[in-house]
Amino acid sequence: MRIAELSAFHPYRGGIAQFGAALHKALAVQHEVKAFTFTRQYPGFLFPGKSQFVEADDTATDVGAVRVLDSVWPLNWGAAANRIALEKPELLLTRMWMPFFGPAMGAVAARVRRTGAKAIGIVDNAVPHEPRFFDKDFARYYFKRHNGFIALSQAVADDIRALKPDAQVQVLPHPLYDHFGTRWDRSAAAAHLGVDPALKTILFFGLIRDYKGLDLLIEAFGQLDGTHQLVIAGEAYGDFAPYQRMIDAHPLRERIHVFQRFIADAEVPAYFSAADCLVLPYRTATQSGVTAIAFHFGVPVIATDVGGLAETVMHERTGLMVPRPDADAIAQGLKTFFEGDRSQRMRDNFDAVRNELSWARFADGLVTFAKGL
């Protein structure tokens, strides 16, 4: 099958680009795949992070994506679709992780479909965690111009159908990121980070946004004893100052280690190799790509029971679900996790999980769904 994949790719950085490259590689085993990406992803003033682009110390995979789409310039969208159509794809895959991209992606999909191609949207979030007034209209525009959708959790599938009741949706869980290499020795990882390898290490990893509940985790950490340490790693999309004030006033502040910056791929193994568990103290969620990193490294996940997290974090198998997003419940979840031999028992389950959540299985499921549309 000839497949065109329109998403964030190198030279853009981050999880969406990593996902696109991994899927491209898996599909290319049996299909002819061409990648396309943005000439402009976000206007600079709308992007809250340091940089949208790969930097010198990143090891992002370059799949040779052709830069065609300006997300905010409608006069470009027809030309982008025409360039994609030159490849004569039988299937167009687009990626929608926030409704902001709905008009551009939807316009391209509609035009490419006129050539006889099918269009499938891979949807992370039908409804964003931090909503804006235009979100539902932009999402509906996108949904109406595709044949079907891959949702990364049942929660996302439900959101899609709430906006497009007749949508054809297939739920395929987020595969595990496997491009970060192997697990480091724990002592070497701790030395790299400058943390104590003898302490029980709790990790918060990824973009720091209000809905992710880092403040709840900092508060919960205060209920643990001196055998624990907290590592916070990721770039803040917004103001980090409120979190820093919490840390500065925290009774256990000497055991809170902050790496407030974008974490390059080459450094990712150090954080997960030093960690006993990853915590997702989210207030709202659909799913989380960070779990795909944790499971690759065999790190159990403690997550609040919101959105679709329970579909990924299998309670007592690959982690623990906390009943609600508040500090007391998160603290109790952490205490429960470190009791007995839960950590080792969960680590023993990850070989099976890696097979279940492989990129090959995801790609096969996507193509089978496409053929059935």
325 — alpha (psi -120 to 50), left (phi > 0) or beta? beta
Q: Given pLDDT bands bounded at 50, 70 and 90, which one contains residue 333? A: very high
Report which of 286, 290, 268 is spatially closest to residue 278, judged by C-alpha positions: 290
- As a whole number of angstroms, the distance between CA 97 and CA 194 comes to 35
| Residue 108 tokens, joined | 């391209």
The answer to whether 152 touches 132, Cβ cutoff 8 Å, is: no
**Predicted model pTM:** 0.84
- As a whole number of angstroms, the distance between CA 320 and CA 96 comes to 29
- Asked whether the predicted pLDDT for residue 253 surpasses 90, the reply is yes
Per-residue model confidence as pLDDT tens digits over 68-90: 999 999 999 999 999 999 999 99
| Residue 55 tokens, joined | 């930097």
Across the chain, what does the average pLDDT equal? Answer: 92
- Asked whether the predicted pLDDT for residue 51 surpasses 90, the reply is no
Per-residue model confidence as pLDDT tens digits over 315-327: 888 999 999 999 9
> Where is average pLDDT lowest: 186-200, 285-299, 320-334?
285-299
For the chain, give the percent of residues with pLDDT over 70. 96
DSSP string, 178-223: --S-PPPPHHHHHHHHT--TTSEEEEEES-B-GGG-HHHHHHHHTT
Per-residue pLDDT, averaged over 271-290, amounts to: 91
